[in-house]
Chains A and B, each alone.
Chain A
């Protein structure tokens, strides 16, 4: 089917319209402000809404359902991931993660031999397994699957034995040893920079699990606890997508309710080119990778 607007578009617009992803077009189009092109014609048959908008709508529908009927999943398109680590940074900022604690690193690997060399990237959030090996090993039931199906940690219950970290086959948990980024920075009195200014930000509360976790007392939880990605549960509760999803510059991370057949994630995970990590262990991860 031909695009009715095609004839009126300049060559650049035609190329973008035809080949570029909506994300790429969305990035480039503002730079071409004033140039008479349309990356994704609003009324044309190729018009698509931004995936973020669609996921937000999917989420709204999911939140209207009872909790037990939702099945939150994350889909990461490895073909689109450029390894920028924006998701990692967003996660660190959102959850105020201290040094040594990371929920969503992006694994970088160089593959091939010259001249056929390339990089591959693997963002690794918690897999929120349906059969999570980290749960039964906890001696005090501090980690469990909550009603959303997300594997959570009760910081006030955790004794810090790290059995869950040992059991996780994805290395998705880290231990909070009580560091702060600013503790070794120089004091620059009267200036915004330096320890004094930055410390107050760093010690302000994070809102994981919809509770306040200030870092003013380094003997209080979550210091001395295992920590992990929780799909930004505190954001989900407020109807917001996880921070790593909204900040992905390539729109490579998708999130939604897999029990909703009309959701974007349901469409994506029904494809044959979808894998899950270490499926042979029977953990049934809720994170899917498009390859």
Chain B
């Protein structure tokens, strides 16, 4: 019986069930997104739910979310290459690949939000660097380049050998950029004195923490569902380590949320209270209490405490997915409610017309585009990972 190495890029037979299901989900999400992407790109923006009063909607929230995953993934990659944490050996490439896929997805969602997306080039040609938005566009573009270079160097890097000086320099630059950029998206909101709900120092501070937590959650999914380890002991230790980090970050998230909401509540500043009431008891209660708190925080916390589940690949991935969904909801709960505050009492009823509404629910177009972008990102991540073999998959041997 002679054995030869498979030459095909993808071999669906060798993929595990989780990979197949994820690919299927990616395909479904992308198909659901096709009509939205077509409408947005070739017809326009009229079918969106946001407008002149609720100015930013689902796409901006998803930009914050996906950019958070990208920067968080990079932070995790540095654990292998800068900080030499032994149990993270072999995970760096997967983390970097995740960052490389989610970053363009983030930029795509924010691009869809532009009224004249063909003019994005103007941000490069005639930037106004006092604008946080311009800083972010430049910053994320540079960061994307850094991720590409890092990944390239990671492939050149031989396991077991020390990281060379140039690679380390790039990694340190990327590491600091990931911290500042993830905080920067918080500042993008926080610098608006017109929106008191955002103008709290804690807002931008929590973003790097949430980004790292997003990276940890994604890594739980990658390790739980996709990655192959020669050493199952390492996998076990990774689950333990990531589990504890996830618990610590979940607790810090609850602490920050408590500090943020309780202070806001105590001050009873009317504009802040309006936003707060919308989150806790109003239009966004389900997103907050059920998705962000229950599914995204409490249930994963409880599951992490059960070693049998926390150390099981399927469950660990599921826990990571729940935390990620919670973070997506958290981003919407930061963006939407602050917009539901009337800038002047009675302004929303002073003049009537399309998109002059203070009540916001994402439209079908917004859901469709979001689904399409995330579907494309999932497909790119899984298929790209197969091609680049970042899941440490041993080459398939067939008869």
Contacts and interface: CB of A to CB of B under 8 A. Distances in A.
Interface stretch (B25-33, B108-116, B234-242, B249-257): B108-116
Nearest to A168: B194
Contacts of B192: 133, 137, 166-167
A141 B126 contact: yes
A219 to B, nearest CB: 8
Contacts of A178: 44-46
A108 interface: yes
A159 B126 CA distance: 12
A100 B44 CA distance: 15
B61 to A, nearest CB: 13
Contacts of B305: none
Contacts of A162: 55-56, 113, 115
B128 A141 contact: yes
Contacts of B349: 108
A100 B353 contact: yes
Contacts of A88: 351
B230 interface: no
Interface string B280-317: 00000000000000000000000000000000000000
Nearest to A172: B343
Contacts, number: 151
B195 A166 contact: yes
Interface residues on A, range: 35 or more
A288 to B, nearest CB: 16
A140 B126 contact: yes
Nearest to B119: A159
Query: For B46, B192, B343, B351, which residue has the most chain A Cβ atoms within 10 angstroms?
Result: B351
Contact of B128 (A136, A160, A168, A175): A136
A137 to B, nearest CB: 5
Nearest to B134: A139
Nearest to B138: A139
Interface string B51-94: 11101100000000000000000000000000000000000000
Query: For B46, B51, B350, which residue has the most chain A Cβ atoms within 10 angstroms?
Result: B350
Interface string A172-191: 01111111000000000000
Contact of A140 (B113, B117, B134, B351): B134
Contacts of B342: 171
Interface string B171-199: 00000000000000000000111110000
B344 A171 contact: yes
A176 B195 CA distance: 22
B344 A277 contact: yes
Contacts of B130: 136
A258 interface: no
A161 B122 CA distance: 12
A140 B127 contact: yes
Interface string B355-388: 1100000000000000000000000000000000
A176 B45 CA distance: 10
Contacts of A124: 344, 347, 350
Contact of A138 (B131, B343, B353): B131
A179 to B, nearest CB: 6
Nearest to A282: B193
Interface in B220-244: none
B346 A108 contact: yes
A147 to B, nearest CB: 19
B18 interface: no
Interface in B92-133: 113-117, 119-120, 122-123, 126-128, 130-133
B55 A122 contact: no
B149 interface: no
Nearest to A176: B115
B137 interface: yes
Contacts of A100: 51-52, 353-356
Interface string A254-291: 00000000000000000000000100010000000000
Contacts of A169: 193-194, 343
A226 B55 CA distance: 11
Given A100-B356, A102-B356, A277-B344, A175 B115 contact: yes
Nearest to A169: B194
Interface in A126-145: 133, 136-141
Contacts of B115: 158-162, 175-176, 223-226
B123 A140 contact: yes
Given A99-B353, A136-B131, A224 B45 contact: yes
Contacts of B123: 139-140, 159
A170 interface: yes
Contacts of A167: 192, 194
A163 B131 contact: yes
A95 interface: no
Given A159-B116, A162-B56, A177 B126 contact: no
A221 B29 CA distance: 33
A175 B52 contact: yes
B345 interface: yes
A211 B244 CA distance: 62
A13 interface: no
A160 B116 contact: yes
A102 B114 contact: no
B354 A179 contact: yes
A146 B117 CA distance: 25
A105 B351 contact: yes
A141 B272 CA distance: 30
10 contacts: A100-B51, A136-B130, A139-B133, A163-B131, A175-B52, A175-B55, A179-B46, A218-B44, A224-B45, A277-B344
Interface of A: 88, 99-102, 105-109, 122, 124, 133, 136-141, 157-163, 165-171, 173-179, 218-219, 221, 223-226, 277, 281
